[in-house]
Amino acid sequence: MLASYARHYNCVRPCVTSTMPLAPAPIARLLIVDDDDATRETFTRILKLEGYEVRSATNAESGLREIESGYPDAVILDLRMPFVNGLGLLYRLRAVQPHRHTPVVVVTGDQCLDDSVLAELRDLGADVRFKPLWIEDLVEVAQSLLRARPTQPRLA
């Protein structure tokens, strides 16, 4: 199709210098931690359709287990959860060396967060977004998280 387009518009065909196919880009691994089933499942489905490998957790404790076992490239984290909230999970995440710089977005439906809580989240290196997130907003969140990830080799 490119050749017919080039002939039609008098363009020069691109020069191919190698016959070796390009290596596929590694699939980005995202972790979603949210106690709300509908939100977690919707976010997971949308991001899987976008081509991401997605794991999910229903609370902070299972989120920590996923982080320890799967080493995600980035985390989308709910703020308001029972027992240990998103802020508590973020503190635990930042205390572990391999995850100290893992990009995190905290997503919350709480439109009235104190400025001190917002400052604390940002001091811990997390971005904050407010629910509801539309599909394109969620995809943009994932893309911005992955642009922010450290350029170090992955652990298996």
Statement: residue 121 has pLDDT above 90: yes
Residue 39's nearest CA partner among 145, 155, 138, 149 is 138
Please give the average per-residue pLDDT across 86-114, as a whole number. Answer: 90
Q: Is the confidence at residue 139, as pLDDT, over 80?
A: yes
**Could you report the per-residue pLDDT of 38-89, keeping only the tens digit for each?**
999 999 999 999 999 999 999 999 999 999 886 799 999 999 998 999 999 9
The rounded mean pLDDT for the chain is: 82
pLDDT of 26 reads: 64
pLDDT of 138: 95
Q: What is the arithmetic mean of pLDDT over 105-118? A: 91
Q: Would the pLDDT of 19 be above 90?
A: no
Instruction: Return the percentage of the chain with pLDDT > 70, whole number.
Output: 79
Q: Each residue of 65-83: b (16+ CB within 10 Å) or e?
A: ebbeeeebbbbbbbbebee
Residue % of the chain over a pLDDT of 90? 60
Model confidence band, residue 112 (pLDDT cutoffs 50, 70, 90): confident
- Ranked by mean pLDDT, which of 10-24, 60-74, 116-130 comes out on top? 116-130
